[in-house]
Amino acid sequence: MNISLHDKRFEPYIKEVAIQNRISAIAEQLSDDYRGKRPLFISMLNGAFWFTADLLKSFTGDCEISFVKYRSYQGLQSSGEVMQSLGIDVDIKDRDVVILEDIIDTGRTLSVFLEILMQHQPGSVKIATLLIKPETLQFPLVPDYVGFEIPNDFIVGYGLDYDGLGRNLRNLYVLEK
């Protein structure tokens, strides 16, 4: 069923069951990769909060969680500027860090955050993202865990929004063409 948010129409794209299955697979892989360790998961707010919650419910080891908030989107497009609202508030020196991201589009936000993160001297850094748009990537980022590779379409739902609306949708929706 198609939906309307503000002045735009969206059609179904990826169903919740497929999202949950993929997140469970990523959580299993992370659990294996960090067996016997205590990683610090850093969730990129606001969009990654659903991905983070579902992933950590399936992670089987000890872990810690922290949140940061950076944004670069206004409406349907990236503003080109990365703005920080909430920064790193825990000691990450020599820690195994896993960044949890909802979507990697151009990679600008994550690239800026990684520069800041590296100043805190983590022991290791891995990236897990629910979605990536390989054709729009402008920064040399290679996530270690990827839910879905998608084309350059505007997506809402499952934590992603269009001007504040749509984050609460259980499925992912794509902008109608």
Residues 105, 144, 153, 163: which is the catalytic one? 105
Query: Percent helix, strand, coil in the chain (nearest 5)?
Result: 25, 40, 35
105 is catalytic: yes
d(CA 62, CA 81): 35
Burial class (CB in 10 A: 0-12, 13-18, 19+), 109: buried
Other Cβ atoms within 10 Å of 99 Cβ, number: 23
Q: Which residue has the tokens 């839910």?
A: 147
Query: What are the catalytic residues?
Result: 105
